[in-house]
Homo-oligomer: A and B are copies of this chain.
Amino acid sequence: MSETAPRPTLEAVAARAGVSRATVSRVVNGGDGVREPLAARVRRAVDELGYVPNQAARSLVTKRHDAVAVVIAEPETRVFADPFFARQLRGISKELTAHDTQLVLLLTEGREDHARVGRYLAGGHVDGALVFSLHLDDPLPALIQRAGVPTVFGGRPGWSDGMREAAYVDSDNRGGARTAVRHLAGLGRRRIAHICGPLDQTSAADRLEGYRDVMDGGDPRLIAESDFTPAGGERALGELLDRVPDLDAVFAANDLTASGALRVLRARGLRVPEDIAVVGFDDMLPLAEQTDPPLTTVRQDIEGMGRLMARLLLRGPGTAPPGPTGLAGGTGGTGRSLVLPTELIRRASA
Protein backbone atom coordinates (compact mmCIF):
# COMPACT_ATOMS: atom_id res chain seq x y z
CA MET A 1 0.00 0.00 0.00
CA SER A 2 1.62 3.24 -1.07
CA GLU A 3 2.03 6.07 1.39
CA THR A 4 -0.66 8.60 1.92
CA ALA A 5 0.42 12.07 0.93
CA PRO A 6 1.37 14.22 3.94
CA ARG A 7 -1.58 16.28 5.05
CA PRO A 8 -1.43 19.83 6.33
CA THR A 9 -1.35 20.16 10.09
CA LEU A 10 -2.92 22.56 12.48
CA GLU A 11 0.42 24.31 12.55
CA ALA A 12 0.29 24.96 8.84
CA VAL A 13 -3.18 26.42 9.04
CA ALA A 14 -2.17 28.58 11.97
CA ALA A 15 0.82 29.91 10.07
CA ARG A 16 -1.23 30.69 7.01
CA ALA A 17 -3.95 32.43 9.01
CA GLY A 18 -1.42 34.23 11.13
CA VAL A 19 -2.81 32.94 14.39
CA SER A 20 -1.86 30.35 16.98
CA ARG A 21 -2.64 26.65 16.82
CA ALA A 22 -5.00 27.03 19.73
CA THR A 23 -7.15 29.47 17.80
CA VAL A 24 -7.37 27.21 14.81
CA SER A 25 -8.31 24.35 17.05
CA ARG A 26 -11.12 26.38 18.53
CA VAL A 27 -12.50 27.32 15.17
CA VAL A 28 -12.30 23.80 13.90
CA ASN A 29 -14.16 22.46 16.93
CA GLY A 30 -17.26 24.57 16.88
CA GLY A 31 -15.70 27.98 16.72
CA ASP A 32 -17.02 29.42 19.96
CA GLY A 33 -14.80 31.93 21.59
CA VAL A 34 -13.16 33.31 18.49
CA ARG A 35 -14.18 36.71 17.18
CA GLU A 36 -15.55 36.93 13.71
CA PRO A 37 -12.91 38.53 11.57
CA LEU A 38 -10.34 36.10 12.87
CA ALA A 39 -12.54 33.04 12.66
CA ALA A 40 -13.24 33.77 9.02
CA ARG A 41 -9.56 34.05 8.25
CA VAL A 42 -8.99 30.70 9.87
CA ARG A 43 -11.80 29.06 7.97
CA ARG A 44 -10.40 30.32 4.74
CA ALA A 45 -6.98 28.95 5.55
CA VAL A 46 -8.55 25.62 6.39
CA ASP A 47 -10.27 25.50 3.04
CA GLU A 48 -7.30 26.61 1.05
CA LEU A 49 -5.08 24.01 2.60
CA GLY A 50 -7.74 21.33 2.62
CA TYR A 51 -7.02 20.78 6.26
CA VAL A 52 -8.63 17.82 7.97
CA PRO A 53 -7.85 17.16 11.63
CA ASN A 54 -5.82 14.08 12.35
CA GLN A 55 -8.05 11.83 14.32
CA ALA A 56 -5.29 9.85 15.96
CA ALA A 57 -3.83 12.94 17.50
CA ARG A 58 -7.21 14.09 18.59
CA SER A 59 -8.17 10.80 20.17
CA LEU A 60 -4.89 10.67 21.97
CA VAL A 61 -5.85 13.68 23.98
CA THR A 62 -9.63 13.53 24.09
CA LYS A 63 -9.87 9.79 24.66
CA ARG A 64 -12.86 9.72 22.42
CA HIS A 65 -12.98 8.04 19.07
CA ASP A 66 -16.38 8.71 17.62
CA ALA A 67 -16.42 5.14 16.53
CA VAL A 68 -18.16 2.04 17.71
CA ALA A 69 -17.39 -1.54 16.86
CA VAL A 70 -19.95 -3.94 15.51
CA VAL A 71 -18.93 -7.46 16.31
CA ILE A 72 -20.56 -10.25 14.39
CA ALA A 73 -19.66 -13.64 15.71
CA GLU A 74 -20.88 -16.40 13.53
CA PRO A 75 -18.63 -19.31 12.78
CA GLU A 76 -21.01 -20.88 10.33
CA THR A 77 -21.14 -20.01 6.70
CA ARG A 78 -24.71 -18.96 7.21
CA VAL A 79 -23.67 -15.59 8.55
CA PHE A 80 -24.41 -13.60 5.52
CA ALA A 81 -26.47 -16.14 3.70
CA ASP A 82 -29.51 -14.31 4.97
CA PRO A 83 -29.97 -10.58 4.91
CA PHE A 84 -30.63 -10.52 8.59
CA PHE A 85 -27.38 -9.00 9.76
CA ALA A 86 -27.21 -6.80 6.75
CA ARG A 87 -30.50 -5.22 7.66
CA GLN A 88 -29.53 -4.65 11.25
CA LEU A 89 -26.25 -3.21 10.10
CA ARG A 90 -28.13 -0.77 8.00
CA GLY A 91 -30.19 0.38 10.95
CA ILE A 92 -27.09 0.70 13.04
CA SER A 93 -25.29 2.60 10.37
CA LYS A 94 -28.09 5.10 10.00
CA GLU A 95 -28.21 5.82 13.68
CA LEU A 96 -24.46 6.10 14.05
CA THR A 97 -24.22 8.39 11.08
CA ALA A 98 -26.76 10.66 12.65
CA HIS A 99 -24.40 10.93 15.59
CA ASP A 100 -21.31 11.38 13.48
CA THR A 101 -19.93 8.13 14.68
CA GLN A 102 -18.00 5.64 12.64
CA LEU A 103 -18.84 1.99 12.32
CA VAL A 104 -15.99 -0.46 12.64
CA LEU A 105 -17.00 -3.91 11.56
CA LEU A 106 -15.40 -6.87 13.27
CA LEU A 107 -16.25 -10.22 11.73
CA THR A 108 -15.09 -13.35 13.46
CA GLU A 109 -14.87 -16.56 11.53
CA GLY A 110 -13.89 -18.73 14.43
CA ARG A 111 -12.30 -18.88 17.81
CA GLU A 112 -8.92 -17.90 16.44
CA ASP A 113 -10.35 -14.48 15.78
CA HIS A 114 -11.55 -13.92 19.29
CA ALA A 115 -8.22 -12.84 20.64
CA ARG A 116 -7.87 -10.36 17.86
CA VAL A 117 -11.24 -8.87 18.60
CA GLY A 118 -10.51 -8.71 22.30
CA ARG A 119 -7.27 -6.94 21.62
CA TYR A 120 -8.97 -4.52 19.33
CA LEU A 121 -11.71 -3.65 21.76
CA ALA A 122 -9.24 -3.27 24.60
CA GLY A 123 -6.94 -1.25 22.36
CA GLY A 124 -9.13 1.75 22.86
CA HIS A 125 -10.12 2.26 19.27
CA VAL A 126 -13.78 2.58 19.92
CA ASP A 127 -16.20 4.15 22.35
CA GLY A 128 -18.42 1.12 22.54
CA ALA A 129 -19.42 -2.16 20.96
CA LEU A 130 -22.53 -3.63 19.41
CA VAL A 131 -22.31 -7.37 19.59
CA PHE A 132 -24.14 -10.16 17.83
CA SER A 133 -23.35 -13.34 19.59
CA LEU A 134 -25.77 -16.05 18.80
CA HIS A 135 -24.54 -19.11 20.55
CA LEU A 136 -24.81 -20.10 24.16
CA ASP A 137 -21.26 -21.27 24.44
CA ASP A 138 -19.71 -18.28 22.79
CA PRO A 139 -16.71 -17.06 24.78
CA LEU A 140 -16.83 -13.70 23.08
CA PRO A 141 -19.20 -11.91 25.43
CA ALA A 142 -17.06 -12.65 28.43
CA LEU A 143 -14.02 -11.53 26.54
CA ILE A 144 -15.71 -8.32 25.62
CA GLN A 145 -16.84 -7.63 29.10
CA ARG A 146 -13.25 -7.99 30.22
CA ALA A 147 -12.22 -5.42 27.66
CA GLY A 148 -14.22 -2.92 29.65
CA VAL A 149 -16.05 -1.38 26.72
CA PRO A 150 -19.68 -0.32 26.92
CA THR A 151 -21.66 -2.91 25.04
CA VAL A 152 -25.13 -3.60 23.74
CA PHE A 153 -26.03 -7.06 22.50
CA GLY A 154 -28.19 -7.89 19.52
CA GLY A 155 -30.59 -10.56 20.64
CA ARG A 156 -31.03 -11.77 24.17
CA PRO A 157 -27.74 -13.18 25.42
CA GLY A 158 -28.05 -16.70 26.62
CA TRP A 159 -25.58 -17.05 29.47
CA SER A 160 -26.99 -16.96 32.89
CA ASP A 161 -23.84 -16.20 34.87
CA GLY A 162 -22.31 -12.81 35.21
CA MET A 163 -24.07 -11.57 32.13
CA ARG A 164 -27.39 -10.83 33.72
CA GLU A 165 -26.92 -7.12 33.49
CA ALA A 166 -26.00 -7.02 29.84
CA ALA A 167 -28.01 -4.56 27.78
CA TYR A 168 -29.62 -5.98 24.69
CA VAL A 169 -32.22 -5.39 22.02
CA ASP A 170 -34.33 -8.25 20.78
CA SER A 171 -37.56 -9.04 18.98
CA ASP A 172 -40.41 -10.54 20.86
CA ASN A 173 -39.66 -14.00 19.58
CA ARG A 174 -41.83 -15.76 22.07
CA GLY A 175 -44.81 -13.50 21.53
CA GLY A 176 -44.41 -13.68 17.78
CA ALA A 177 -44.37 -17.44 17.89
CA ARG A 178 -47.52 -17.43 19.98
CA THR A 179 -49.24 -15.24 17.44
CA ALA A 180 -48.23 -17.54 14.62
CA VAL A 181 -49.43 -20.67 16.33
CA ARG A 182 -52.66 -19.06 17.46
CA HIS A 183 -53.28 -18.00 13.89
CA LEU A 184 -52.88 -21.58 12.77
CA ALA A 185 -55.16 -22.80 15.54
CA GLY A 186 -57.67 -20.13 14.61
CA LEU A 187 -57.72 -21.59 11.12
CA GLY A 188 -59.00 -24.77 12.66
CA ARG A 189 -55.71 -26.63 12.49
CA ARG A 190 -55.16 -29.18 15.18
CA ARG A 191 -51.96 -31.07 14.49
CA ILE A 192 -49.60 -28.13 14.35
CA ALA A 193 -45.93 -29.05 14.12
CA HIS A 194 -42.96 -26.83 14.85
CA ILE A 195 -39.61 -26.91 13.15
CA CYS A 196 -37.40 -25.10 15.58
CA GLY A 197 -33.98 -23.58 15.05
CA PRO A 198 -30.74 -24.51 16.79
CA LEU A 199 -31.65 -24.41 20.46
CA ASP A 200 -28.34 -22.99 21.50
CA GLN A 201 -29.59 -19.72 20.08
CA THR A 202 -31.99 -17.80 22.23
CA SER A 203 -34.13 -16.72 19.31
CA ALA A 204 -34.79 -20.35 18.44
CA ALA A 205 -35.37 -21.31 22.05
CA ASP A 206 -37.76 -18.42 22.59
CA ARG A 207 -39.79 -19.26 19.52
CA LEU A 208 -40.09 -22.81 20.70
CA GLU A 209 -41.31 -21.56 24.06
CA GLY A 210 -43.93 -19.48 22.32
CA TYR A 211 -45.11 -22.51 20.40
CA ARG A 212 -45.30 -24.50 23.61
CA ASP A 213 -47.21 -21.72 25.34
CA VAL A 214 -50.05 -22.17 22.89
CA MET A 215 -49.74 -25.89 22.38
CA ASP A 216 -49.94 -26.71 26.03
CA GLY A 217 -46.38 -27.89 26.28
CA GLY A 218 -46.41 -29.49 22.86
CA ASP A 219 -46.26 -33.09 21.82
CA PRO A 220 -42.58 -33.94 21.29
CA ARG A 221 -43.51 -35.86 18.17
CA LEU A 222 -44.68 -32.59 16.66
CA ILE A 223 -41.37 -30.86 17.20
CA ALA A 224 -38.26 -31.25 15.05
CA GLU A 225 -35.04 -29.37 15.59
CA SER A 226 -33.39 -27.86 12.58
CA ASP A 227 -30.80 -25.26 11.72
CA PHE A 228 -32.49 -22.24 10.15
CA THR A 229 -31.62 -23.36 6.61
CA PRO A 230 -33.81 -24.49 3.70
CA ALA A 231 -32.08 -27.87 3.58
CA GLY A 232 -32.62 -28.30 7.29
CA GLY A 233 -36.28 -27.42 6.82
CA GLU A 234 -36.64 -30.10 4.17
CA ARG A 235 -35.12 -32.73 6.35
CA ALA A 236 -37.11 -31.75 9.42
CA LEU A 237 -40.43 -31.69 7.65
CA GLY A 238 -39.63 -35.06 6.12
CA GLU A 239 -39.17 -36.53 9.59
CA LEU A 240 -42.28 -34.86 10.90
CA LEU A 241 -44.38 -36.14 8.02
CA ASP A 242 -43.06 -39.64 8.50
CA ARG A 243 -43.89 -39.48 12.19
CA VAL A 244 -47.25 -37.76 11.90
CA PRO A 245 -48.66 -38.26 8.40
CA ASP A 246 -51.85 -36.36 9.09
CA LEU A 247 -50.17 -33.09 10.02
CA ASP A 248 -52.29 -30.11 9.07
CA ALA A 249 -50.00 -27.19 9.87
CA VAL A 250 -46.41 -26.33 10.52
CA PHE A 251 -44.81 -23.32 12.12
CA ALA A 252 -41.23 -22.94 10.95
CA ALA A 253 -38.70 -21.09 13.07
CA ASN A 254 -37.74 -18.87 10.16
CA ASP A 255 -38.57 -18.24 6.52
CA LEU A 256 -35.59 -20.10 5.17
CA THR A 257 -36.72 -23.20 7.02
CA ALA A 258 -40.27 -22.66 5.80
CA SER A 259 -39.09 -22.43 2.21
CA GLY A 260 -37.44 -25.83 2.55
CA ALA A 261 -40.60 -27.24 4.06
CA LEU A 262 -42.64 -25.84 1.20
CA ARG A 263 -40.40 -27.60 -1.26
CA VAL A 264 -40.96 -30.95 0.44
CA LEU A 265 -44.67 -30.39 0.53
CA ARG A 266 -44.75 -29.65 -3.17
CA ALA A 267 -42.63 -32.69 -3.88
CA ARG A 268 -44.99 -34.89 -1.94
CA GLY A 269 -48.00 -33.48 -3.70
CA LEU A 270 -49.47 -31.85 -0.62
CA ARG A 271 -51.33 -28.63 -1.17
CA VAL A 272 -50.53 -25.48 0.80
CA PRO A 273 -52.53 -24.28 2.61
CA GLU A 274 -55.40 -26.66 1.86
CA ASP A 275 -53.68 -29.78 3.18
CA ILE A 276 -51.04 -28.18 5.32
CA ALA A 277 -50.79 -24.57 6.36
CA VAL A 278 -47.33 -23.06 6.79
CA VAL A 279 -46.17 -20.05 8.77
CA GLY A 280 -42.62 -18.74 8.85
CA PHE A 281 -40.76 -16.14 10.85
CA ASP A 282 -38.75 -13.05 9.82
CA ASP A 283 -40.65 -11.84 6.77
CA MET A 284 -37.43 -12.06 4.89
CA LEU A 285 -37.89 -10.40 1.55
CA PRO A 286 -37.84 -11.16 -1.27
CA LEU A 287 -37.91 -14.79 -0.22
CA ALA A 288 -41.15 -14.65 1.73
CA GLU A 289 -43.03 -13.19 -1.23
CA GLN A 290 -41.33 -15.35 -3.76
CA THR A 291 -42.10 -18.78 -2.36
CA ASP A 292 -44.95 -20.78 -3.81
CA PRO A 293 -47.34 -20.00 -2.26
CA PRO A 294 -46.17 -16.72 -0.71
CA LEU A 295 -45.44 -17.16 2.94
CA THR A 296 -47.52 -16.10 5.88
CA THR A 297 -44.95 -15.10 8.42
CA VAL A 298 -44.08 -13.13 11.51
CA ARG A 299 -42.37 -9.89 10.70
CA GLN A 300 -39.78 -8.39 12.95
CA ASP A 301 -38.40 -4.92 12.50
CA ILE A 302 -34.83 -5.87 11.89
CA GLU A 303 -33.59 -2.49 10.84
CA GLY A 304 -35.34 -0.99 13.82
CA MET A 305 -33.50 -3.33 16.13
CA GLY A 306 -30.23 -2.17 14.72
CA ARG A 307 -31.17 1.45 15.12
CA LEU A 308 -32.20 0.90 18.68
CA MET A 309 -29.03 -0.91 19.58
CA ALA A 310 -27.01 2.02 18.41
CA ARG A 311 -29.25 4.45 20.20
CA LEU A 312 -28.99 2.53 23.42
CA LEU A 313 -25.23 2.52 23.22
CA LEU A 314 -24.88 6.16 22.29
CA ARG A 315 -27.37 7.62 24.68
CA GLY A 316 -26.55 5.28 27.48
CA PRO A 317 -29.20 5.09 30.15
CA GLY A 318 -31.54 7.99 29.93
CA THR A 319 -33.52 8.80 26.84
CA ALA A 320 -36.72 6.87 26.49
CA PRO A 321 -37.12 4.46 23.62
CA PRO A 322 -38.96 5.97 20.67
CA GLY A 323 -42.15 4.96 19.00
CA PRO A 324 -44.21 1.82 19.44
CA THR A 325 -41.77 -0.37 21.24
CA GLY A 326 -42.40 -2.84 23.99
CA LEU A 327 -40.17 -2.44 26.95
CA ALA A 328 -38.68 -5.30 28.85
CA GLY A 329 -36.92 -6.14 32.07
CA GLY A 330 -33.26 -5.36 31.61
CA THR A 331 -31.19 -3.62 34.21
CA GLY A 332 -27.91 -1.83 34.77
CA GLY A 333 -25.35 -2.10 32.03
CA THR A 334 -25.64 0.56 29.39
CA GLY A 335 -29.31 1.07 30.12
CA ARG A 336 -32.48 -0.86 29.74
CA SER A 337 -32.85 -3.69 27.34
CA LEU A 338 -35.53 -3.43 24.71
CA VAL A 339 -37.83 -6.02 23.19
CA LEU A 340 -39.52 -5.03 19.96
CA PRO A 341 -42.98 -6.21 18.95
CA THR A 342 -43.60 -8.48 15.98
CA GLU A 343 -46.42 -8.57 13.49
CA LEU A 344 -48.14 -11.37 11.61
CA ILE A 345 -48.07 -10.89 7.86
CA ARG A 346 -50.77 -12.87 6.12
CA ARG A 347 -50.04 -14.21 2.70
CA ALA A 348 -51.26 -17.35 0.99
CA SER A 349 -49.55 -20.14 2.91
CA ALA A 350 -51.76 -20.00 5.98
Contact = CB atoms under 8 A, between A and B. Distances in A.
Contacts of A109: 93-94, 97
Given A4-B124, A59-B56, A102 B106 contact: yes
Contacts of A60: 54, 56-57, 60
Interface size class of A (residues with CB under 8 A): 35 or more
A120 to B, nearest CB: 7
Given A107-B90, A286-B81, A148 B314 contact: no
A256 to B, nearest CB: 7
> Residue among A85, A128, A290 with the most chain B CB within 10 A?
A290
B263 A2 contact: no
A182 interface: no
A328 interface: no
A314 to B, nearest CB: 6
A94 B113 CA distance: 10
A4 B60 CA distance: 14
A327 interface: no
Interface in A300-321: 313-314, 316
A26 interface: no
A52 B122 contact: yes
A299 interface: no
Contact of A123 (B52, B87, B97, B230): B52
Interface string A42-76: 00000000101111110110010101001000000
Interface in A143-175: 146, 148-150
Given A90-B80, A120-B102, A127-B1, A230 B55 contact: no
B127 A113 contact: no
Given A97-B116, A287-B287, 7 more contacts: A52-B124, A55-B123, A56-B56, A81-B285, A86-B86, A93-B107, A97-B109
Interface of A: 1-5, 7, 50, 52-57, 59-60, 63, 65, 67, 70, 79-83, 85-87, 89-90, 93-94, 97, 100, 102-107, 109, 113, 116, 119-120, 122-125, 127-128, 146, 148-150, 230, 256, 259, 263, 285-287, 289-292, 313-314, 316, 334
26 contacts: A1-B127, A2-B150, A4-B63, A52-B119, A55-B56, A55-B124, A56-B59, A56-B65, A70-B105, A80-B87, A81-B83, A81-B285, A83-B83, A83-B86, A89-B107, A93-B105, A93-B107, A93-B109, A97-B116, A102-B104, A103-B105, A104-B105, A230-B286, A230-B290, A256-B286, A259-B290
List 7 tightest A-B contacts by C-beta distance, closest first.
Answer: A80-B86, A56-B59, A52-B122, A93-B107, A105-B105, A5-B148, A56-B60
